[in-house]
Amino acid sequence: MANPDHLDILRQGVAAWNKWQDGQDVTLRPDLSGADLRRVSLSGANLRHTNLFRADLREADLCEASFTGTVVVKIGAGGARVKARYGGADLREADLREAELIEADLSGADLGQANLSGANLARARASHANFSRADLSGANLSTAVFLESNFENADLTGCFVYGISAWGLNLKGASQSNLVISNVPLDPVIQVDNMEMAQFIYLLLHNEKIRDVIDTITSKVVLILGRFTPERKAVLDAIRKELRERDYLPVLFDFEKPASRDLTETISTLAHMARFVIADITDAKSIPQELERIVPDLPSVPVQPLVLASQSEYGMFEHFRRYHWVLEPVLYEDEGELLAELEAKVIAPAEAKAKEQRGK
């Protein structure tokens, strides 16, 4: 709970609070934890090193406030939506893990080295903001606006970026793996490894005119198909990691969840932009019908099947052997063996077949 003396000073206004803060020992941490600060004007307040754990800041005005080193966790009681204004605020090194920042105004704010892991920034406005070296891993950035913001050396791993508006970003050195571009949980999970590529791929899935030119593009995209059960997903993730290291752009598609759009349309669009397809047909479930949509119509896109050696390919796979751009399945004993032979038995044959088919 908040220190009542500290809360009384804050109630006297920002000027009184800042004067008190300036006269305090730097080791003092003002305690406003759990305080009800709804709709309070804290514009320009010095909140450095202040404990705001579970403080309710809904609709508070925090423009130009300084939060350096502040603990601000789970803003808003009961996960309520936050519409607080942080424009120009100093939030450097602030602890905002799992904070509810829905529709927050972070325009021009400095969040350098802030911890925003797991935070919810859906529909937030954060143009010209600084997120350099910030941890945004697993954060929900869906439909947020980031215009000319700085994400240099930031960790964006696993962020949800559906509908994001991101133009003129500085992404130098940023970790961008496993960005989810789908409208989860309505659509299947589609992951990519680049913020700008995320927007591009999303456009490809929703714009027929762009789809028409995909066949003319020679890209580094590799579509990875397989099941997302824990054991099978581990293999797919390992393949994706190896492809990244070889300068490909792997796209991993999850068939396990229900979709609001036609799955075959989506997978066909992704296949059209791929250099080749890697399909782990072990424990095949939805993959047979997806290959049926891809293979006959895309002779320029080789398909390299994989299957665990302890199993056999599913019965109807024999149907695809008539298409010479479907390579012989690669049998593997375990993940280690597959990765050791990935270049020689998977990538190289697929590349050779891609050049052959496109040459025709």
Residue pLDDT tens, the chain, 360 long: 889 999 999 999 999 999 998 887 767 788 988 888 888 888 888 888 888 877 777 777 777 777 766 666 545 433 334 466 677 777 888 778 887 788 888 888 889 998 899 988 999 889 999 999 999 999 999 999 999 999 999 999 999 999 898 889 999 999 999 999 988 777 778 888 888 778 777 777 766 656 555 554 556 889 999 888 888 889 999 999 999 999 888 988 765 544 445 677 778 888 888 999 999 999 887 788 888 889 998 999 999 999 999 887 777 888 898 999 999 999 999 999 999 999 999 999 999 999 998 776
Q: For position 299, what pLDDT does the model report?
A: 92
Mark whether 227 and 108 lie in a shared domain.
no
| CA-closest candidate to residue 136, choices 167, 108, 107, 174 | 174
Q: Per the domain annotation, does 185 fall within a domain? A: no
Q: What is the pLDDT of residue 360?
A: 66
Whether the CB-CB separation of 94 and 70 falls below 8 Å is answered with yes
- pLDDT for 170: 95
On whether the CB atoms of residues 236 and 173 are closer than 8 A, the answer is no
User: Contact, 50 vs 27, CB < 8 A?
Assistant: no
Q: Specify the pLDDT at position 255.
A: 53
Q: Are residues 208 and 260 in the same domain?
A: yes
| Residue 183 forms part of a structural domain | no
Whether 205 and 343 map to the same domain: the answer is yes
Contact (CB, 8 A) for 34 and 15:
no
Question: In this predicted structure, what is the pLDDT of residue 76?
Answer: 46
Q: How far is CA 10 from the centre of its chain?
A: 38
**Contact residues for 222 (Cβ-Cβ < 8 A; gap 6+):** 243, 248, 249, 250, 251, 274, 275, 276, 277, 278
Report pLDDT for 83.
Answer: 61
Radius of gyration of the chain (CA): 25
192 occurs within a structural domain: no
| Phi/psi-derived region of residue 143, left when phi > 0, alpha when psi is between -120 and 50, beta in every other case | left
Which residue, 177, 220, 179, is CA-closest to 199? 179
Q: Indicate whether 107 and 232 sit together in one domain.
A: no
In a domain, 320, yes or no: yes
Report the C-alpha dihedral over residues 306, 311, 315, 320, rounded to 10 degrees: 10
**Do 57 and 111 fall into the same domain?**
yes
User: What CATH number did the domain enclosing 171 receive?
Assistant: 2.160.20
pLDDT at 213: 54
Residue showing tokens 């309710």: 56
Q: Is residue 184 part of a domain?
A: no
Residues 170, 214, single domain; the answer is: no
- Same domain membership, residue 270 and residue 333: yes
Round to whole Å and give the CA distance between 231 and 284: 13
Token readout for 170 is 């500085």
Q: Could you tell me how far CA 213 lies from the centroid of its own chain?
A: 26
Specify burial of residue 8 (Cβ count, 10 A radius: 0-12, 13-18, 19+): exposed
68 and 145 share one domain? yes
Residue 281 lies in a domain: yes
- Position 264 scores a pLDDT of 72
Specify the pairing of strand 190-192 against strand 249-253: antiparallel
Place of tokens 């019965």: 315
Give me the helix-helix angle, 263-272 and 195-206, nearest 10°.
Answer: 120
pTM above 0.85, yes or no: no
* Residue 278 lies in domain: 197-359
Contact criterion met (CB below 8 Å) for 95 and 72: yes
In the numeric block, the tokens 């500085």 are attached to: 170
Task: Please state, as a whole number, how many other Cβ atoms lie within 10 Å of the Cβ of residue 316.
Answer: 12
The neighbour count for residue 224, using CB atoms within 10 Å, is: 22
- Residue 181 included in any domain: no
Same domain, 139 and 42: yes
Do 27 and 97 lie in a common domain? yes
- Looking at residue 222, its pLDDT comes to 93
Total count of domains within the chain: 2
Per the domain annotation, does 191 fall within a domain?
A: no
In whole angstroms, give the CA distance from residue 311 to residue 308.
Answer: 6
Same domain assignment for residues 154 and 201: no
Q: Are residues 110 and 59 in the same domain?
A: yes
